[in-house]
Amino acid sequence: MIRRSGVRSCLIGLLILVASHPGAAQSAAERDTTLSFLGFQPGASVAHLNHQLDSLHAGRLRCDHAKADPHVSECRALVTVAALGGPVNLWLSAMDSVAGVLTLSADVTPDQLDRWREALAGPYGAVDARVQGSQWMMQWVRRGRMVRLTWRSERGRRVASVSLVDGHVLDAWGRTRARARR
């Protein structure tokens, strides 16, 4: 039989351990990407995104390493998936093969823009659209990640984009660059 004082001591010790190492308790939650757009997630590996595009028969990423930093890749693809409403340009910037910034953009119809808005507002909640000049924007932020929908009229057509940003990937890359400059 376990004594109550022993259980209590064990629980107190566990709480002290978690409190003294908050990163350990948060790391699993932080790796959980809570924001996505029609299956695309910030912080996904380039290999995962290529697999995702292959499984959707939607194209393939073409990547080039940045000249200034070999750890950074710029990747592009033309994605044709029914859920997106037509052909969409995908662009991403990957640090050590992990997407820090991923953007999907296209000329959209009013109905297509409404579907994109609903795909974001449905799971993440309604937010007010903000306007700056001729551009409108809606944004959601969760656990160091952001998704932003922007749209504007340009020469008689409506252009929209969804940007997915993983702050953890960008922060880690920034710390690595800072250490390398020392």
Please list, in sequence order, all residues whose beta carbon lies within 8 angstroms of the beta carbon of residue 31, skipping any fewer than 6 positions away.
43
Please tell me the predicted confidence (pLDDT) of residue 179: 65
Phi and psi of 51, rounded to 5°?
Answer: -60, -40
Find the mean pLDDT for residues 143-147. 93
Dist. CA 61–CA 54, nearest whole Å = 10
CB 16 within 8 A of CB 24: no
Residue 22 has pLDDT above 50, yes or no: no
Dist. CA 137–CA 151, nearest whole Å = 7
Mean pLDDT over the full length of the chain: 81
Backbone conformation region of residue 163, classed left if phi is above 0, alpha if psi is from -120 to 50, else beta? beta
Confidence of residue 177 (pLDDT cuts 50, 70, 90): low
Please tell me the predicted confidence (pLDDT) of residue 73: 93
Dist. CA 140–CA 148, nearest whole Å = 6
Give the CB-side neighbour count of residue 15, counting CA atoms within 13 A. 6
